[in-house]
Amino acid sequence: MPTLLLDLGPLAHLSGGEGPLTGQQMKDDDSLVETEGKGILIDGGHIQRISDSDEMRAEYVGGKRGFGLVGEEIEGLNVIEVGGRAVIPGLVDSHTHLLWGGDRSREMRWRQQGESYQSIAKMGGGIVHTVQQTRSMRLEDLISSGLARIDVALANGTTAMEVKSGYGLSTDSELRLLEAASQLQGVSIDSTWLGAHASPPDIERETYVEQILSEQLPAVIDSGQARSADVFCEPGWFTLEETEDICRAAMEGGLDIRLHVDEFVDGGGLSLAAELGAISGDHAHWSDSQARAEASAAGTLQCFLPGTPFSMGETHFPPASECVEFEYPWCAATDFNPNCQILSLPFIGNLLSQRMGVDPLASLVAVSRNSGYVTKHEMGLKHGMVVEGGAADLNILDSPFWESWCQRPGISPFAATMKGGDLMLH
């Protein structure tokens, strides 16, 4: 049955023009936010029409009223009274490591005792520890833990998600992670292969890179289960040369490129991402200003992941405000992983607005419209914005102010989330 949302409060639709928004456009409420009083007609998982609520009420349901967010069938339509609550797009989490097993909670104390990410990895913690735990999981268990995590993300307004492999580090286990990702549901999934996340235990990095190029990557390309390829390009993990070799082979196989770059030091990774024409250079925490300008010129988005330094007890965040000032395209995401267990994009909005000085509307654009260019909708629809013809993915806030989306740390700000036309009350 088609759905009719009536009596909306402010609608931060974020539509208009093409491509990611940059600079002042990201905070321009005149063009990105409609004042209250709109209605939305939804059918077949698409937004069919956005128009004046009073006119739509008269035209479709003879002026009748429904009950509230629970919905009521009137004239063959599921009528939902939004009651003046603000509406924003479904959020797009453009960087997650959703699928893994085990638990690395002990590492917090090790960090407080002075160990670094690098020294914890050398002690047998970090990525390789998670790899051992993940390899022993059955496909069904990977899927069910992924589904439970998706439920948490949905309750926090996420309707589309990138899911990376990367905790298998062998051809079979990486393929199993991509297979598990392909069986997830609840949000739109966009899969990325991250076989070059670390060297597996007991294999030299050079040997592993050869294995990737001769066996793992061709098998991933053959499987058709990854749209993009990613490499952890960072001193101590994969070098610029190794990253370039892997990416060029992936591009020949038709994959888009995402990269983990400059997370702990400026290793030149963002420049390489720009040179390769990557969709995004992620973390980009310590990249220099020239690399940021190169990325912008190449159309490579910087995907900031402030939850990672936050989770590691750091107080220095990547320079998102400067990127607004210089009109560089950027987005933001959770980086959900065993070391950063954040599944809430509103919490990332808290960090952007309450710690990094980013305007609340620009912060919203970063985790919806701009992330939607990096992470594609599984049916190829426009998403991360509320637009006629686009995906019927949106959030109804528990407030008449759209600004409330990023000002409730630790609490979901949403009264309801719509995914593909289905409304879930929270």
Footprint on this chain of Fe ion (rule: CB under 5 A)? 335
> Which listed residue (61, 127, 150, 181) binds ligand NIG by CB under 6 A?
127
Among residues 176 and 283, whose Cβ is nearest to Fe ion? 283
- Give phi and psi for 117, each to the nearest 5: -55, -40
Among residues 20 and 126, whose Cβ is nearest to ligand NIG? 126
399 binding ligand NIG? (CB under 6 A):
no
* Residue 338 CA to its chain's centroid (Å): 16
Q: How many CB atoms lie within 10 A of CB 316?
A: 9
Q: How far is the CB of 393 from Fe ion (least distance, A)?
A: 23
232 binding ligand NIG? (CB under 6 A):
yes
Q: Report how far apart, in Å, the C-alpha atoms of 45 and of each of 53, 100, 124, 423 are.
A: 20, 31, 46, 11
Stretch that binds ligand NIG, among 126-134, 146-154, 288-296, 404-412 (CB under 6 A): 126-134
Using Cβ positions, the residue closest to ligand NIG within the complex turns out to be 339
Q: How far is the CB of 337 from Fe ion (least distance, A)?
A: 6
7 contact choice in Fe ion, ligand NIG, none (CB below 5 to 8 Å, kind-dependent): none
Among residues 131 and 416, whose Cβ is nearest to ligand NIG? 131
Q: How many CB atoms lie within 10 A of CB 222?
A: 10
Cα(316)–Cα(236) distance, integer angstroms: 21
Cα(219)–Cα(216) distance, integer angstroms: 5
State the burial class of residue 172 (Cβ atoms within 10 Å of its Cβ: 0-12, 13-18, 19+): exposed
Q: How far is the CB of 98 from Fe ion (least distance, A)?
A: 11
Using Cβ positions, the residue closest to Fe ion within the complex turns out to be 335
Among residues 87 and 333, whose Cβ is nearest to ligand NIG? 333
Give residue for tokens 């210089």. Answer: 326
- 2 and 77 Cβ atoms separated by less than 8 Å: yes
Compose the 59-88 pattern: x for residues touching ligand NIG by CB under 6 A, - for all others.
------------------------------
User: Bridge partners of 260?
Assistant: 232, 282
Stretch that binds ligand NIG, among 206-214, 324-332, 334-342, 352-360 (CB under 6 A): 334-342
**119 CB contacts (<8 Å, ≥6 apart)?**
none
Among residues 192 and 399, whose Cβ is nearest to ligand NIG? 192
308 contact choice in ligand NIG, Fe ion, none (CB below 5 to 8 Å, kind-dependent): ligand NIG
Q: How far is the CB of 75 from ligand NIG (least distance, A)?
A: 50
**124 CB contacts (<8 Å, ≥6 apart)?**
none
Among residues 232 and 347, whose Cβ is nearest to ligand NIG? 232
Compose the 304-333 pattern: x for residues touching ligand NIG by CB under 6 A, - for all others.
----x-------------------------
- 33 and 25 Cβ atoms separated by less than 8 Å: no
126 binding ligand NIG? (CB under 6 A):
yes
- 88 and 394 Cβ atoms separated by less than 8 Å: yes
> Which listed residue (338, 372, 384, 390) binds ligand NIG by CB under 6 A?
338
122-160 burial, b at 16+ Cβ within 10 Å, e below that, comes to eeebbbbbbbeebbebeeeebbebbeebbeebbebbbbb
- Report the candidate in 136, 246, 151, 150 with the shortest Cα–Cα distance to residue 199: 246
> Which listed residue (339, 353, 363, 370) binds ligand NIG by CB under 6 A?
339
Q: How many residues bind ligand NIG (CB under 6 A)?
A: 12
335 binding ligand NIG? (CB under 6 A):
yes
Cα(314)–Cα(227) distance, integer angstroms: 33
Q: What is the contact surface with ligand NIG in residues (CB under 6 A)?
A: 97, 126-127, 130, 232, 260, 263, 308, 335, 337-339
